Structure 1
Amino acid sequence: MRTALTEMLGVEHPLVGFNRSPAVVAAVTNAGGFGVLAASMYSPTELDAQLTWIEEQVGGRPYGVDLLVPEKFAVSDPDDLVASLRAQIPAEHFAFVDALLDEYGLPAHSAPRGEEDALDEIAAAINPAGAQALLDVTFSHRIAMVANALGPPPADLVSRAHADGVVVASLVGQRKHAVRQLEAGVDVLVAQGTEAGGHTGTVATTVLTPEVVEVADGRPVLAAGGIATGAQMAAALALGAAGVWCGSVWLSSEEDITPRPVKEKFLAAGSSDTLRSRTMTGKPARQLRSAWHDAWDRPDAPAPLPLPLQPMLAGRAWNRVHAAAAEGHPGATALDTYFIGQVVGGFTELRPAAEITREMVEDCTRRLRALGELADT
């Protein structure tokens, strides 16, 4: 398939695979798609190592990086970023999370101070200043695209990318957001509907995509949210998209690093078992509903904090939850969750990411040909 996206990026298929696992990014890229690494939860040193590994695997094929550079975030002291943010987390929030873990019988765990500091530093980096170090690493590699998932990218990011011949993409959840992104100089718009996993708005993909195409002024638009099959990919192209941006589908891949207990919950879930919640990051993000969300919905629960305070609060708790769930702890398994879209209802087994890529593209091609035959009758 040849679209404005494949021409711009020099790839075979108009399918973008977004995932935090370098092996997924490499597999999608090598299968003719375009892999994008979710980079914000890596430290600069870790990100450099991951991008180096990806480049060793893909043999010069183009790939991209996605960062979270939010417009709104907690005010902090740039001279002491982590400490100033930690000080803003109320004691009642720490007490609530500790009581929740005790309620579900999680074993006590005291992480080494250095480990706690590393977790907080990664969460604290989700702001324009903190993202700069990740951007420096990103632009030191041979990336073809840099994407921002939370608002218009900073002007210096756009100018730096364009100076290096790097395409700039941004995710949008409303038509007005698309207009702002175009004014910021974005090259590719990702119309992400509410069905998507992670940070998302409330407008459905089938409504949002043509609205964004209408204002895109010829720039490629990718449809995102509710796309995990060739039929859904074909539907996105029929709506005017130049390709698709897929995230949740790779959580059913063998290469994805999500803990096995969470993947087993995905395989057992239906499409109505997700919800949008601020309790993981401080911003509305779709994830699999679990006992964690039920607890935050109780009348005695405090309100979630803004980004990056909420992930700093939750980070150490999730280390305990994931570790205990991996050992079969029932309380941890009940709490455990991850970001996932409504396509989770279609998951039946774990498969290689390259197989998922090929099947989606082949099925999309068949669907488009069948639609063409309908038009000829």
Structure 2
Amino acid sequence: MRTQVCETFGIEFPLFAFSHCRDVVAAVTNAGGLGVLGAVAYTPDRLEEELRWIDDHVGGRPYGVDVLVPSKIDESAERAGRGEGGLDTMLAAVPQEHWAFLFQLFEKYNVPLPDFEKAKKANAGSGTARGAGTQVTQQGASELIDVSLAHPIGLIASALGTPPALMVEKAKAAGIPVAALVGTSEHARRQVAAGVDLIVAQGGEAGGHTGEISTMVLVPEVVDTVAPVPVLAAGGIATGRQMAASMALGASGVWCGSVWLTTEEAETPPHVKAKMLAATSRDTIRSRSRTGKPARQLKSAWTEEWEGEGSPGALGMPLQMIVAEGAMRQINKVAESGNEGARELANYFVGQCVGQMNTVKPARQVVYDMIEEFADAIERLNAMSA
């Protein structure tokens, strides 16, 4: 199987795997695809550790890093990113009504939480929440880009919006191709003008931040718009048949994220993984409740409450992340102890293909199954023209 992206990146299969889990990234890369580590949840020091681990486990094979650099965020968060008050500035920018709503939510679902002030610090001051909140700024993303380019990566991607000029300049100076995710053909046109080398056309079926146009409609539009720049299809792709359909639409490969969430290596909490294994394609929703921007995720009490009448409404990015991601850390921790209310609230980003994710497999096996099914699909198509 040789396509333009296979030649460019020196990979066996045109399969790109986005994951927040280093084990998935390494497994897919070692299986012949290209794993891409989502870096938004990491501080620079933690990202350095993760990339060093991947370096040690892929034997020089190519992998990538995905950095979230939104073009527009809350001004107070941007000031914090420039060092003007830091985390305290972000915390102070969250309205009291949102903290109050959060704690009422915890009380309603019988999820234990420390007192109000301590909980705010805990929510935004540690682990994933700290990285997700403070790194979603121009300064924070720049630090992650510098860490990434200090490693032998084969690709750096901008997950949301046109990559800043500094990112493109630094990547090109290092000889690293730049990818960007888009949800419309106009977005794709702007990305190419900004110097992007690879476009990921992501349909609304995808997990995480998405637009509203479906993959089947979006991919050929983007392919025609940016030719000869190569395009990866994304959104709802979890099988070899869907991979073959993407190539028929003109894509040079596929970008998959959700399908790795039920693998053995995935970072998905066990209770959330169980929800995914039981879910249908109708059990997801585009909601601002986790990040402040529309992001597809599992339906749960969390999305219902934030989208409900009593909600103060989601804040902008990254302030909603400060509120939500810290809260979800506590929810997941308590859910693992069997707390039913926490399990009702728990969710995660996932696309509509969750209905096809019914078994737990090693990530390597997912790759091989997709490629085998892709070959079968191509054989059936060839037989039609014989």
Same fold (TM over 0.5): yes
| CA offset digits 1:161-210 (Å, max 9, x no partner) | 11111010000000100000010000000000000000000000000000
Q: Pick from 350, 371, 374 the counterpart of residue 364 of structure 1.
A: 374
3-state SS of 1:134 partner = helix
- Corresponding residue of 1:284: 294
- Corresponding residue of 2:71: 71
Question: Matched residues in 2 for 1:215 and 1:320: separation?
Answer: 44
Question: Matched residues in 1 for 2:72 and 2:284: separation?
Answer: 25
Amino acid at match of 1:325: A
Identity of aligned residues (%): 48
Cα drift, residue 71 of structure 1: 0.2
Matched ranges for 1:1-377 at <5 A: 1-76=1-76, 77=79, 78=82, 79-109=84-114, 116-118=124-126, 119-120=129-130, 122-376=132-386
Cα drift, residue 113 of structure 1: 5.3
Amino acid at match of 1:211: E
Amino acid at match of 2:13: H
3-state SS of 1:313 partner = helix
Cα drift, residue 112 of structure 1: 10
Cα drift, residue 121 of structure 1: 5.1
Amino acid at match of 1:233: M
Question: Matched residues in 2 for 1:305 and 1:7: separation?
Answer: 43
Cα drift, residue 370 of structure 1: 1.6
Cα drift, residue 111 of structure 1: 6.0
Question: Matched residues in 1 for 2:71 and 2:347: separation?
Answer: 26
Question: Does the 8 Å CA contact 1:69/1:127 hold for their aligned counterparts?
Answer: yes
Cα drift, residue 87 of structure 1: 1.6
Which range is displaced more, 241-250 or 149-158? 149-158
Amino acid at match of 2:42: Y
Question: Matched residues in 2 for 1:163 and 1:211: separation?
Answer: 31
Question: Does the 8 Å CA contact 2:156/2:176 hold for their aligned counterparts?
Answer: yes
Question: Matched residues in 1 for 2:120 and 2:95: separation?
Answer: 22
Question: Does the 8 Å CA contact 2:41/2:131 hold for their aligned counterparts?
Answer: no
Cα drift, residue 349 of structure 1: 1.2
Cα drift, residue 81 of structure 1: 3.0
Query: Which blocks of at least 5 consecutive residues in structure 1 are unaligned?
Result: none
Query: Which blocks of at least 5 consecutive residues in structure 2 are unaligned?
Result: none
Which range is displaced more, 69-78 or 337-346? 69-78
Question: Matched residues in 2 for 1:48 and 1:231: separation?
Answer: 37
Question: Does the 8 Å CA contact 1:167/1:187 hold for their aligned counterparts?
Answer: yes
Question: Matched residues in 2 for 1:114 and 1:98: separation?
Answer: 13
Question: Matched residues in 1 for 2:132 and 2:218: separation?
Answer: 32
Question: Does the 8 Å CA contact 2:69/2:163 hold for their aligned counterparts?
Answer: yes
Question: Does the 8 Å CA contact 1:74/1:85 hold for their aligned counterparts?
Answer: no
Q: Alignment length, in residue pairs? A: 376
Question: Matched residues in 2 for 1:239 and 1:185: separation?
Answer: 24
The alpha-carbon distance between structure 1 residues 12 and 121, as it changes in their structure 2 partners (threshold 3 A), is: closer
| CA offset digits 1:315-339 (Å, max 9, x no partner) | 2211110001111110000000000
Question: Matched residues in 2 for 1:247 and 1:348: separation?
Answer: 15
Question: Matched residues in 2 for 1:100 and 1:327: separation?
Answer: 19
Question: Does the 8 Å CA contact 2:215/2:236 hold for their aligned counterparts?
Answer: yes
3-state SS of 1:322 partner = helix
3-state SS of 1:18 partner = strand
Question: Matched residues in 2 for 1:117 and 1:235: separation?
Answer: 44
Question: Matched residues in 1 for 2:322 and 2:371: separation?
Answer: 39
Cα drift, residue 117 of structure 1: 2.4
Question: Matched residues in 2 for 1:174 and 1:296: separation?
Answer: 27
Question: Matched residues in 2 for 1:339 and 1:131: separation?
Answer: 21
Cα drift, residue 107 of structure 1: 1.6
Question: Matched residues in 1 for 2:381 and 2:308: separation?
Answer: 49
Question: Matched residues in 1 for 2:113 and 2:259: separation?
Answer: 34
